[in-house]
Every structure is written in structure tokens, then in C-alpha cells.
Structure 1
């Protein structure tokens, strides 16, 4: 079996986990939590880091902490994992969707301004698959219309936009440390901000809104979204290897691109564009049709090669349709890539030999029809 993702744990992970066990610091009170917060925020170039249980928790806390007026609109891509839009809806905010750039799979920033109304409060950008969102126009519009920026950089550890780290652009930014990310803590997430008051608000919200005066007296609801010392120990060890991780991910992407060069009926991901080099969080392919997409994935499965379909569009999600959102909306670029796109094994644990096997099987499947 060649799974879609195998994490790489070849640094000091075991050493740090043993330290947690031997010292008894296994809860969220342990010293690795603060260390990971400080080191990760420094790496990205932010003032404050708040570690949480997972990336979705990071979004929940970040959106709540922004204190946007209920009923306000937030512009967000239709092509994304459900977590960002879910967090908005749960806070009584109205997601306003835009289509995608089919070359990068990110939100089409040229479509944002037409969606801005007097109810718009923020733009939630989600960096997708390997390229960042084109941030300069987003920042310009946010400034022009006095909007906040929430930045979902869950997939972008170490990626840069014009030489600046993703996760450093939003008023508040979030990351995920799920096992398929460049840095993993098993589960885990991080909120980053340069605003001290916003950071303190996030710390309260992720910790059940305890108040200093009397710990078990609560004036509002929060969550128990704390990261454990065990998770943070993994994160510290993983962060120490981030440069080699990014190098390896690009080696994986480049090897696939070389192996699959000239292939018909399937579009390969771009290596770079005008503002960034692909970081290949996943190696994403887009088939010429939904039928071909399904066929390739089905045939690869027979050879014990894992794949995943692309995200499904938010305007086509049954849960949102039942709630009355996005009636009669259509976003053709997003709909096409959601139906025709899939990604293949490209986790950090994959070997060059396995990359070659996957590449060969894809060529065989397409050649044989």
C-alpha cells in the first residue's frame, strides 16, 4: 500500500516525548507548549502564538475573537475545506463566496471587490494546496474598505508570498498541524497575531474563559481547545526540521512533474507563478473530465495506491443548502476542479521509488483508457 500521506518523524520527537513522560508534563500546562508558541510565531514573523487542539479549533477561536457583528458578511472562497465557513456560520456571520483561480485553486481575488457591501466586515483568505493567495490586492481592498483579514494558512507552513511567510498577513492567522501537514503534532493548531489584546482574547477563549479573579466563575462561554505538552513537544521537534521538509516536498513535486511530463488528459500543478514557488502540500492533478478523475482513482486503488478527491464547493454543501445559504449560486471554475481534481501520495514519508511506481501506474491507466 502506498498511502496518500505518511508523516516523517526522524528528528528529536522521541527524545522530547520521553522528556514529557519522565517529567510528568503531559497536559496543556507543560513547558513545550509555550516553547512551541514562541518558536513558531518567531519563525512566521508574528508577535503572538496561541497553540490549540486543532486547526478547526484555531478558526473557531480566531473568528470569535475578532468580535465581528452578527449578521456581518465575510468574503471567503467557495473552494475550501468546510472548516472556515463553518466557523463563520456558527458565529452568526454570513459567508459570501467567490470563485477560484483555476491555475492556483485559490480564491479569485479579482472577484472580491464586486462582493463587498456595506455589511462586509472581513475577508477570510484560505491558501490552498501549494500556492498562496495573491495577497497584495486583498490587502489593498481591506485597507480601502476598512475590512479585517482572517488568514487560513493551515496548509502553508514555510510557504512565502513575495518573500514573506504565509501566516504573517492577517489581522489574525491560523495553522493546522494534522499529520499531512509540513509540521505535525498529530492533531493541533496555532493562532498568530501581532495584536496583544486579540492574542489575550484568544487565550481566554481556548481555555474556557477562566478569569483571573476566580478560576471557576465564568462570564461567558469558551472552549477547552488547549494543546497538550505532548503535542507541542512533537511540534518543536518538527519545526527544527522545517527547512529540510520544504526542500523534500519540492523534490517530491518536481519528481512527479518530471515523471508525468507530457501526460495527456490530466493537468499537472504549476511549479511557480509570479509571486510564489509551489510548496506541494499535496500533488494535485485535474483530469479533463469527472469520469476520468473517478476512473484513475478507482484504478489506482486496485493497485493499493491511495488518492483523495479535491475539496467540495461550499455552495454545493448539503448542510449549508439546508440552512438556506447560497441559493441558486454557481461558481464554474470551482465546480470543475472539485469534480475533476484529485491528489496522489506525496507525504514526507514517501520514497523516490514509490513516486516512480505511482507515476508509472498513472501513465498506464491513461494509456490503456
Structure 2
């Protein structure tokens, strides 16, 4: 039995008629950029997240980049974030001329350890950029208090957490700005690149609106140097179709995570911790194991996919070596040696999970 990490084709087939009709409607309308589908998606996502504004952009990386620019982060500033994430988080900080300052993670959630942040603050610190890794919200209440105390911006990296909540509020709505990715494999994914920025702040919203569209409030009149970063209507109609099912998709992910954990708990495998403070949406189901290479090899031999997110933390990447000389993040470094992500998607069947777990336990 071959089991992929994600089954995009299976999901497409289940909603194929709706997707194709939506795409045909856009083609017939011939409105492709900043058109009605994009505007409708922005309204729907703003309402879903509980904020006043949402702006479609070209990618999740662009969402982070433009959010930092809109918040006034620039050369000489420092932004505190996690080293246990995809490089786009720190790339966006570097794009604006600021310095990413990495702190360690919580060993249970893999999210930024809030207790480590104050020691990393300097007079140059302007913002905190938490990542809701693998679909589990960071400790947003504590982060919000910390930002208020030190007059810092909070920009949420929600690339892996669409549909997740902390308390009664959705991820993306706690910070000054929230940044989403619609990369195809995400919980809410399009069929190409795409992203979204959400905010409750009217001034930040105006900044984003200009920055994504060549610095323009009105066509051919440019107030600032902007960018060409707009979510097209073809992708927007795909996302609007999938939005109808996102809560069902995330519920199925949580159910699949429960099946995994019930079979693996007590086996020597550390299963994902689920904080009682938020709703985990399991973008990935990531375990910790001591003999990762052996287990991954056994899974591969049976046609079962697995992945390592992320084998080299950002503070140990060559690109950040000069700024991170002497930086030690012991929890991050240990976790990076032990994590292994197993197949996770709404269409995953319980019998497939049984096969994966039997293979994994036999390898142990």
C-alpha cells in the first residue's frame, strides 16, 4: 500500500465539479486580477478570522514581507522569532533589512518559548513573530501581554494554522497582523502560490493595500514604492470553494491525529502535545523518536511517505551563520534531530493509519 504525505488529487476529485465550474466562471468573466472572486474571498476570510480587513497576496512569504513593511520594521531593527520553522519566516525579516533574533522553543508544542523572549530583548527590538507550527497555536495570550508591556508589534505566521483558534479567537486575529499561506499542501491550499494578510488596524490595512499593488491607492498614482503581489481570481475561486469545507477538513485532521495517538501512545514514541488553550488543526502530525533514520527507512520500504520538518534549525543555516555565531538553542537542536512527520490529510483512512502505525511499531 502506497501512502503519500498528502493526497491533493483525492481532495480535488471530491470537489472537482465545483472547482471546474468556478474556474470556468472566472474565464467567462475575464476578470483575473483584483476581481470579484478575490474581493469575495477577502470578505469571507476577514469574517472567518474575526477581523475587519483581509488582503490577498502572491504567497505566504509575501504576506510576511509586506506585513513587516506595513508595520514599519526596517533596517537596524530586530524581530524575535523561532529558529524551528521554514526559512520564509526569517527571510521576510531579512528582506526589510531587519535582523531575526532566534529564541528557543517549548519542547512540548515546538512553538516559541515565551519565557525566553524577555532575555532576548534589546533597544532595537521592534516586533515578535511567532509561528503556529504544525497547526498548533503559540501562547498568544502571553505573547500579547508581552507585546503590550514592551510596546512591540506582533506579526503572526499562520502559514500552517488556517482554522486554528487560541481561546475564542482565531489565529491571525491576536497580532497586529496575521499572515497566511495558501501553498497547495496547506490546510486551505490553492493550486499554485497564494497568501493572505489579515488585520483589525485601519492604518495597517491601508499600508498593505498600497504595498501589494505598486504603492497605489488609485490607479497610476503612487504614494510609496510598492510591490506586485496580488492573489489572482483563479486561485481565489479555488480557495472560496475549499473554504466551504475547511472546518470539516480540520475536524477530519483532528480525528486522524486521534487515531494516530491512540495507537502510538505509550510505545516510546512522543506523540504531538495538544494544548488545552487552543484548537490544533494538524497541518502536520509530527512525532519524536530517537532512532529516526531506522524508522523512516522502514516506512519507505513499505511505500509510506514521511518527512522531516525541519532538519537544520535556522540559526544553524549558512545564510544566518554570521549573525548567529555562538547562539545555542538546545531544545530546538534536540527536537530537530528527533522529529518525524507522518502522512496527514483529511482523506487519510483509518486503515491507512493502522498500516503506518504497525510498520512504525515493528521498526521500534
Shared fold, TM over 0.5: yes
Establish whether residue 3 from structure 1 lines up as the match of residue 9 from structure 2.
Answer: no
Runs of 4+ in 1 over 4 A off after TM superposition: none
SS of equivalent residue, structure 2 residue 146: helix
C-alpha contact (below 8 Å) 1:129/1:281 kept by paired residues = yes
Question: Aligned partners of 1:115 and 1:185: how far apart in 2?
Answer: 37
Q: 1:60 aligns with which of 54, 62, 65?
A: 65
SS of equivalent residue, structure 2 residue 363: helix
Q: Which residue of 1 aligns with 2:278?
A: 276
Question: Aligned partners of 2:209 and 2:279: how far apart in 1?
Answer: 34
Question: Aligned partners of 1:118 and 1:61: how far apart in 2?
Answer: 23
1:68-104 CA-partner distances (Å, limit 9, x unpaired) = 2421111111211111111111211111111000100
Q: 1:206 aligns with which of 202, 212, 219?
A: 212
SS of equivalent residue, structure 1 residue 102: coil
1:104-131 CA-partner distances (Å, limit 9, x unpaired) = 0000001111111211111111111132
Q: 2:329 aligns with which of 324, 331, 342?
A: 331
C-alpha contact (below 8 Å) 2:165/2:280 kept by paired residues = no
CA RMSD of aligned residues (A): 1.6
C-alpha contact (below 8 Å) 1:156/1:166 kept by paired residues = yes
Deviation at 1:219, TM superposition (A): 6.0
Q: Which residue of 2 aligns with 1:252?
A: 256
How do residues 286-365 of structure 1 correspond to structure 2 at under 5 angstroms? 286-288=288-290, 292-311=291-310, 312-321=312-321, 324-365=322-363
Question: Aligned partners of 1:192 and 1:302: how far apart in 2?
Answer: 43
Q: Aligned residue pairs: how many?
A: 356
Question: Aligned partners of 1:213 and 1:174: how far apart in 2?
Answer: 26
C-alpha contact (below 8 Å) 1:49/1:191 kept by paired residues = yes
Segment drifting more, 1-10 vs 159-168: 1-10
Q: Which residue of 2 aligns with 1:16?
A: 22
Deviation at 1:56, TM superposition (A): 0.7
Question: Aligned partners of 2:110 and 2:117: how far apart in 1?
Answer: 15
Taking structure 2 as the reference length, the TM-score comes to 0.93
C-alpha contact (below 8 Å) 1:65/1:198 kept by paired residues = yes
Q: Which residue of 1 aligns with 2:266?
A: 262
1:308-332 CA-partner distances (Å, limit 9, x unpaired) = 10223111011111xx211111101
Gapped regions of structure 1 (runs ≥ 5): none
